[in-house]
Amino acid sequence: MSERVRTFDGPLRQGADLERSIDELWFYNDPAHYGSLVLRCGWPAESFQRWLGARMRDVLLP
């Protein structure tokens, strides 16, 4: 994932630091979030996917 982000050719969120953004993406990509929200809290998998996608977009994109 980090290599793909490093080769991203689009604009980043204003004030975004590339290395910190990669760290944040790794944080969100932790399977524990799925376990907590879907398995323990009962979120539908589709809701989790939308939430995760939105968080990852927020880290990188304007």
The tens-digit pLDDT sequence of the chain (62 residues) is 667 666 766 777 788 788 888 899 999 999 999 999 999 999 999 999 999 999 998 988 88
Give residue 61's pLDDT.
83
**3-state SS assignment for residue 1:** coil
CA distances from 20 to 12, 15, 27, 52 (A): 12, 11, 11, 17
Q: What is the pTM of this model?
A: 0.77
